[in-house]
Every structure is written in C-alpha cells, then in structure tokens.
Amino acid sequence: MSPDLPHLPVSNSLPALSAALQEANRAILSAPPGAGKTTIVPLHLLDQPWRGDGRIILLEPRRLAARAAAARMASLLREPVGATVGYRMRLDNRVSAKTRIEVVTEGVFARMILEDPELSGITAVLFDEFHERSLDADFGLALALDAQSALRPDLRILVMSATLDIERIAAILDDAPVIISEGRSYPVEIRHRDRPGGERIEDTVTAAILDAHRHESGSILAFLPGQAEIRRVAERLAGRFDDSTLVAPLYGNLGQREQDAAIRPAPEGCRKIVLATSIAETSITIDGVRVVIDSGLQRLPVYEASTGITRLETVRASRASADQRAGRAGRTAPGIAIRLWHPGQTAALPAFTPPEILSADLSNLVLDMAHWGVLDRCGLSFIDPPPAPAWNEARALLRLLGALEPAGAITASGRRIRDLGLPVRLAAMVLSACQAGAGRQAAELAVLLTEQGLGGTGTDIEDRLRRFRQEGGERAKAARSLAERLATSAGAIKGPENPVPAGELLLYAYPDRIALRRGGRGRFVMANGRGAEIPETERLAGADMLVIADLTGRAAQGRVLAAAEVERSMIESVLPDAVQRGEECFFDAASRQVRARRVTRLGAIVLDETPLARPTGPDAAAALAEGVRQLGVSALPFSKAAGQLRQRIGFLHRTIGEPWPDVSDEALLDTLDDWFIPYQTSARGFDDIAPGTLFDGIVGLLPHGLQRELDRLAPTHFTAPTGQNHPIRYDGAEPILSIRVQELFGLKTHPAVGGGKLPLVLELTSPAHRPIQTTRDLPGFWAGSWKDVRADMRGRYPKHPWPDNPADAMPTSRAKPRGT
C-alpha cells in the first residue's frame, strides 16, 4: 500500500484481503463504521498485480456517499476528482480516460453491466454498504455473479459492509473467504429518553436537541424518518441559537451544495446540528459529531402489488440501524447516543432492515432480467428471490405495455422502454408522447417525477412542471439536460412542440389512476377502485377528474401526493379503448335487489348510466351472487331443512373429509358459481330467493351417488325403541341426540352414525325434558351411574317408570298407568 495513505483500522486486514483476492475471485469484508473500508480498500487494490490497467468499480447506495467517497480518495492521492478517482451517477459524471477507480451509484452499475455483460476494462466490482440491501444492489450482485461465472472468471467481486448476515452472503458467493476488520471508534454512552404517549416525534426530537445543546459539547446529529419531520424540527429550532450554532438539514432531495454543507466540518468555534434521514447512517462521516439523537424511526417504500402503488411507511428502525446511528457519535471522540424510546423496546426491534426486493415494484427488474435472458424469478443468484405476487403483477403490467411477450421474453417495444432507463410506466409515456409530438414535454415530466423535489413538493404537477422549467439551480439544469437526452433517445420530433397538458401525458403512464370526484370536494375514486383524497383547500380538490401519479396511505383511501387535471374528452381521445360502454347488472345493497343499467365506465369509475328494467337470468343471478359476497351467506333465507343439511354435510366433511364438501360460510362464498347462481336465474332480489332453491343448491354440491350415503352416514333422525323419531343435531364437534331416558329402555348398544362408527352424544333428559346426564356409553351408564340417577328421579317423577335394570325394561314415552 502507498505510504502516503493513512493507517486506518482496515489497514491491518489488507494483507488477508489481498491474499483472498489473489487466490479466489470472490471475497467478503466485514468492517464497522470508521474502519476506512470505503476509501482505503479501493486505493489499496490499485496496486494488486491482477488489476493490470483495469478499472475498479465501487458501488455506493446514494449519490451523496458516492461523491463523498470519490472526493476523499482523490484528496488522499492529492488529485482532483475525475483523475485517478471519479464518480458516475444519474445527473452528474466526473470521469476521464485517467480514471481507474469509478464510484457509481447502484442503479448506474446495473445499467452498465446490462449494456456490457463482459464488463470490458473492469477488473473488480466492490459492493460497499451492502447491508442496506437495496434492490439495485441485490440485482447488481446477482448480475455480476452471473457474468463472472459465464463470461469473466477473472473478475473480482468484493462485498463490503459494516453489518452483514455473513452466512447468507457467503452462501451466495460459494462460501467465499470472509475477512473481519476491527473498527476504530471511541466509547459511546447509550442513553434513553422515552417519548411521551401521543407526543409528535418532532417535538420529542426538538426537546432532546435543546437539552443536549445546553448540557453537552460538540455537534449534534439527529436522525428523523423523513423530510417533513426534518422541516418541522428545523422550524421549531429557528431562533433558538446564536450564530455559533448552525442547523443543517440532510436528506436525499437536497441539492448537492446543501448536502455538502451539511457534512462539511463546522467553522472554527461553531457547533452544528444536522437533521438527517437514514442517509447519514453509513458511508459518510460528519466531523465533530459527539451527540447522536435517534428517533428510532425510518421511512420505507412498500409496494402494493394489488394496486400498483408504492406507499411510504414509517416503521421502527432495526437494531443494526440503531447501532450504526449510535456509532456516528464515536467516530472522532467519545460520544453520547440518545435513543428516544424505552430501553426495553430495543430487543423487540427487527435485527435488520428488510431487503428492498421483498417490498418493491419489480417492473423494471423483470424487464431487465428479460433483457438479460432470464425469465424465471429464481434464475439468478438472489439472496432473497423476488416475491411471486409482485413478480406476477410486474409481468402483467409489462405485457399490458407491450414490453413482454406472453411467455415473458422481451419485445422490441420492451427494449425501447428499457433503454430509456426510466420506470417502465414513465418510459412508456415518453415513447407514446413522442408519437403524439410531445416527447420533450413528456421527458421533462418523467424526470420531474423521478427526481423528487424538483419544482417544489406541491400536489399539482402542472405547477411543479412550470416551476421546474424556470429553476436555475445546478440540479434543475442537470435534470433538464437529462430530459433532453431522454427525448432525443426516444425519438422526439426536432423543433418546437405544441404545448400538451401534463394530465394528458400522464394518461399514457397511469390509466388505472384516472380519478373521478365523488363524495364531496377533495374526494375521488380511481379507475382501479381505490379511493383518494386531496385537502379541500387545494385547487385540485375541486377538479372533476384527475390522473394521479403518486399517492400514499393504506386501505381504501389514499392521500394524493402528485396529480394533474384531465377532461373526459382528453381521456377518450388518448385512451379510446379504456372507456367501455354496455349493459350490466349490479346488486343494490340498499334495496337488496338486482338492478340493470346502460353504463359508460372507465375501470371502476362509472361515467354515465341509464336505468333499465329489472332483469332475470344468469347475469342477474351473478349480480345476486355479488350481493351474497357483500352481505354474507347468513343473509340468505335458508330453511330449517337446508340448515340441517349443511350441518350434516359439514359434519361428514370434518370427520371423513373427501369426497364430502366443505359447506362453511367461507367455502360457500368461494363456490357461489356452483351452488347458487345456477339455481337463481328467476330471482331479481333477495326477497325472490326461494328457500327450496338453496336446499337444492347445497344438495347439488354432493358428488353423484352420495345423497343416499348422506342418509345412511348422517341421518336426520334417530328412531328410538319406542318407534318415535328424534332429530339429531350436527351443529357441534359431535352429533348430539337429546331424548328422554325412558325411550331408550331396553337398548343394549350405544346409538351411532357414520355407519355405526361415530357414537352419538346422548343428552338424556327427564320426563320434563330437563337434562339429567350426558353420555357416550349407554351400556356403561345403565350399569354404572343409572343407580344414582334412578334414586334421584324416582322421588321427582313418581308417575314414570324407573326400573332397576333399564337395559331389560320396556321403552316408553308415557307415564305409568294409573294404579301401578
């Protein structure tokens, strides 16, 4: 290693790392924060004989970390960024012909290897901070391993992290050698400050900051879940300090200048309070921090495959994240970490943050894998394979966009979508807009939606797009240049374009999120059936129709984050096949009737309707079945006989199983097409359902030949020795017969059903039908406890027989004749 490089804790592990990569092409380096792995390891590998003149690629999870790592390595070499060490990211490249260490964001590497599977001129790929387990990092590693196995056996792959699930990572890397590096950190005192119930996290964080500022020295780093909380804490701290204390936000949407200012050392004699998201957990060092205040929260994207919507969810940080955050206080001196939760809650935190692949939109991943030639979700070496539901939803969307063939292979249109490097919906929008002569406007809109914070954070995309076009910052200029390159790549027309509303462009990307105002100002229903809300004070709350690009929230009602106004004529022009007209039956829950209408609809949105005469027939029966799904099977008018039939069949299903069907409420809801709809073609509502048709429908569920078996195995009645029939109940776990004890006199065997194999539970009653004994062994009862029952009952019911030996007595349902 060059003598000019500083000696850091990871330096002691470099000989072992060199030997591992000399002998094998894969290795794992586990080194805690502050060990120096991000900067020292790549520089050390420059001198390895296997490198030749090839480049080393260092992957970082965020742009801020990539720039910081490149700048630090370049300063150690006393060179500018872009010489031996450079970086490459979506909106900013600093590389040259001299560059031998290229720091890239994880998404950039995925595109590099997809375009050049042999990774020409690259000798090593280093995955830094791999414990964050982003989708791009997981995919990039899977691609690198595949390329190494098939094309580049000489390629070195090194996975580095502060906290790793070593066994699982090593298994994917064929038990690659693991090098453990000790870190260098100062003692960190862990304190706890429990958040009062109901108190907002920004209030708790503000109070903790003010207290730490009064009683501790050094700069403060506070971790908050997101940008909104950071802004609110900054507002609460405004005016609380003099010029010797600086408050600096730090989150992903900030411009490069603001991010660099946040991590730059505080001026001499000043303290800094950095308000950060989890962006500051790893990869970067903020000099002078002695106090860390941890909210214990983080915001993660969660993709709902059923709606195609990714929402942000605030969750508890993992134990690994809490340890990483605390470690920030001990990088340069002894420090303090203040955790804003009860100490007993730490053990309940998840060990690691869940991998992004388990909760992400997989559309781009599926398309990229198809481009790579892999159609099976388990076809690459993923640590956690893509979940099947999200995978299948992604394939369905890509087929809808024409990007995949039915079997999953990529189409020519899919290659054009993939080449743009945008989310697939937005890429499809740009390509479609190019054909309509609005490609540049669509490209600007796509960049606006993928680079958060451009044009502000308002809900109205039209306003944000207008501000974005006027912004003068470096980030905005770089984004507009990117949009121009995207438009050119997509085939946009040369020269000026006719202005097109943002809503019209968004129709190409989000036809399932067209929304109609319904239920008052600010309340909308989308074409996918989900509800959405906008605050009543916003202009868009009064729009009749919107197309929604982004929203968050759970269940049926989401909060709109970005949308644009559209008109019906615009929708019918851009998406003529999306608007459907026809006649349909539907169930009206209020009247419990089937109605018919002539309707114009867009997905779940009804645009126009005209009532028609109430129908009958199969369509009406299907609509009535939907009513059963809404109201439940219990709303149907089952007769007593039908109810008993269900109990008997259900008993045999529980005790014998196949071929006896499940007739529980849940099972009947799942099989309405079999037992309900065929028998209700003349019904127009719940009042028209004849109980006999329900009975016939349940009987129809029995396989051929089982109806006679039903009477044999689960008879409706038991014929007592007196000749009288008594109903058998099958509503419990066991069949039950309630009968007066005198009617069983003379019976020497216990009554049973199920072909004599399943004994009845006998509820023996007195002549007044009051329970006196329950038994599953009638002969045993006669020989045993009958004596005590007889002694008790004789005095109460002297007019009825109570023989000494009931097994040999005559059965009766009457009292003793007078005079006996």
DSSP states of 586-646 as a string? EEETTTTEEEEEEEEEETTEEEEEEEEPPP-SHHHHHHHHHHHHHH-GGGS---HHHHHHH
In a domain, 13, yes or no: yes
Residues 42 and 98 in one domain: yes
Does residue 304 sit within a domain? yes
pLDDT tens by residue, 767-808: 888 998 899 999 999 988 899 888 888 888 888 889 989 888
HEC secondary structure over 429-462:
HHHHHHHCCCHHHHHHHHHHHHCCCCCCCCCEHH
Q: Which pLDDT band holds residue 327 (cuts at 50, 70, 90)? A: confident
Q: Is residue 221 part of a domain?
A: yes
Contact 661, 649 (CB under 8 A): yes
Report CA-CA distances (Å) from 25 to 136, 139, 162, 610: 22, 19, 21, 70
In a domain, 385, yes or no: no
- pLDDT confidence tier of residue 126, bands split at 50, 70 and 90: very high
Residue 816 has pLDDT above 70, yes or no: no
Element (H, E) at 512: none
Same domain (yes/no): 760, 651: no
- What confidence category does residue 48 fall into, taking pLDDT thresholds of 50, 70 and 90? very high
- pLDDT band with cut points at 50, 70 and 90 for residue 55: very high
What mean pLDDT value characterizes the chain?
90
Average confidence (pLDDT) over 319-326: 88
Residue 305 lies in a domain: yes
- Residue 351 has a CB neighbour count (10 Å cut-off) of 9
Task: Using the 3D structure, point to which of 646, 679, 703 is the last residue of a domain.
Answer: 703
pLDDT recorded at residue 59: 96
| Residues belonging to the chain | 820
CB 404 within 8 A of CB 369: no
Same domain, 213 and 127: no
Residue 382 inside a domain? The answer is no
Same domain, 262 and 237: yes
Residues 760-790 as b or e (16 or more Cβ within 10 Å = b): bbbbbbbbeeeebeebeebeebbeeebeebe
C-alpha pair distances (Å), 410 with each of 151, 152, 403, 546, 663? 22, 25, 6, 32, 45
Q: Sorting pLDDT into bands at 50, 70 and 90, what band is 282? A: low
Instruction: State both tokens at 437.
Output: 């002569």
State how far the alpha carbon of 554 is from the alpha carbons of 459, 510, 530, 551, 586, in Å: 18, 19, 10, 10, 27
Structure-model confidence comparison of residues 427 and 331, the more confident one: 427
pLDDT tens figures, 707-725: 888 888 999 899 999 989 9
Phi-psi map region of 703: left, alpha, beta (phi>0 left; psi -120 to 50 alpha): beta
DSSP secondary structure letters along 361-397: --HHHHHHHHHHT--STTSS--SSPPPHHHHHHHHHH
Q: Which of 285-294, 306-315, 627-636 has the highest mean pLDDT?
A: 627-636
Long-range CB pairs of 757-764, under 8 A, 24+ apart, other chains included: 758/655, 758/734, 760/718, 760/728, 760/734, 760/735, 760/736, 761/734, 761/735, 761/736, 761/737, 762/737, 763/736, 763/737, 763/738, 763/739, 764/739, 764/740
Question: What is the reported pLDDT for 818?
Answer: 54
Question: Residue 1's pLDDT is what?
Answer: 40
Structural tokens at position 747: 């019976």
Contact 247, 235 (CB under 8 A): no
Tokens in use for 247? 């408050």
Lookup: tokens for 403: 């990007």
H helix or E strand, kind and range, residue 730: none
* pTM of this structure: 0.74
**In the predicted model, what is the mean pLDDT of residues 357-373?**
94
Tell me if 389 is assigned to some domain: no
For residues 163 and 213, membership in a common domain is answered with: no
The DSSP bridge partners found for residue 524 are 517, 532
Instruction: Give whole-number Cα distances, 589 to 310, 593, 631, 748, 767, in Å.
Output: 32, 7, 8, 56, 49
Indicate whether 269 and 312 sit together in one domain. Answer: yes
Confidence category of residue 758, pLDDT binned at 50, 70, 90: confident
> Tens digit of pLDDT for each residue in 233-269?
999 999 899 989 999 999 877 777 788 788 888 888 8
Of the pLDDT bands very low, low, confident and very high (cuts 50, 70, 90), residue 144 is very high
The answer to whether residue 817 scores a pLDDT higher than 70 is no
Residues 478 and 533 in one domain: yes
- For residues 688 and 722, membership in a common domain is answered with no
Which residues on neighbouring strands pair with residue 292, listed in sequence order?
221, 337
CA 91 centroid distance within chain: 29
Residue range 478-534, pLDDT digits in tens: 899 999 999 999 999 888 889 999 999 999 999 989 999 988 899 999 998 888 999
**Overall domain count for the chain:** 5
Model pLDDT for residues 428-487, shown as the tens digit of each residue: 999 999 999 999 999 999 999 988 888 888 899 999 999 999 998 888 898 999 999 999
Whether 10 has a pLDDT exceeding 60, the answer reads yes
How many contiguous H segments (helices) and E segments (strands) does the chain have? Answer: 27, 31
Amino acid 28: pLDDT: 94
The pLDDT of residue 40 is: 93
Structure tokens at 395: 């394939």
575 Cβ partners below 8 Å, 6+ apart?
Answer: 507, 511
Residue 114's pLDDT band (cuts 50, 70, 90) = very high
Residue 159 has pLDDT above 60, yes or no: yes
- Taking the C-alpha atoms of residue 537 and residue 145, their distance in angstroms, rounded to an integer, is 53
For the chain, the maximum distance between any two Cα atoms, rounded to a whole number of angstroms, is 125
Work out the average pLDDT over 398-412. 93
Nearest by Cα to 451 from 368, 580, 371, 550: 550
Worst-scoring range by mean pLDDT, 83-87, 425-429, 635-639, 708-712?
Answer: 708-712
Residue 175 belongs to domain spanning:
9-180
Residues 92, 132 within the same domain: yes
Angle made by CA atoms 771, 777, 783, in degrees to the nearest 5: 90
Range 639-652 average pLDDT: 91
Judged against a pLDDT cut of 50, whether residue 73 lies above it is answered with yes
pLDDT at 3 over 50: no
- Please check whether residue 535 lies inside any domain of the structure: yes
319 and 195 both lie in a single domain: yes
Q: For 267-277, how does the pLDDT look when each residue is reduced to its tens digit (9 = 90+)?
A: 888 999 999 98
| The domain boundary residue, chosen from 180, 201, 221 | 180
Distances (CA, A) of 229 to 200, 210, 314, 451, 459: 9, 16, 11, 20, 18
Q: Rounded to a whole number, what is the distance in angstroms from the first to the last CA of the chain? A: 118
Same domain, yes or no: 530 and 657: no
- Per residue in 724-740, pLDDT (tens digit) is 999 999 988 889 999 99
- Kindly state whether residues 680 and 780 are assigned to the same domain: no
Q: Identify the residue whose tokens are 């030996």.
A: 805
Residue 330 belongs to domain with CATH number:
3.40.50.300
Yes or no: say if 562 and 459 are a contact pair by the CB < 8 Å rule.
Answer: yes
Sequence-distant (6+) residues with CB within 8 A of 78 are 4
Q: Taking a C-beta distance cutoff of 8 angstroms, is the pair 28, 170 a contact?
A: yes
- CA separation for the pair 797, 147 (Å, rounded): 92
Last residue of a domain, one of 679, 703, 727: 703
Encode pLDDT of 179-236 as tens digits.
Answer: 998 766 688 999 999 888 889 999 999 999 999 999 999 999 999 998 889 999 999 9
pLDDT of residue 231: 92
Q: Which two tokens stand for residue 139?
A: 């995919």
Beta bridge partners of 588: 593
What letter represents residue 476's amino acid? A
Predicted local confidence at residue 164, as pLDDT: 65
Contact 315, 400 (CB under 8 A): no
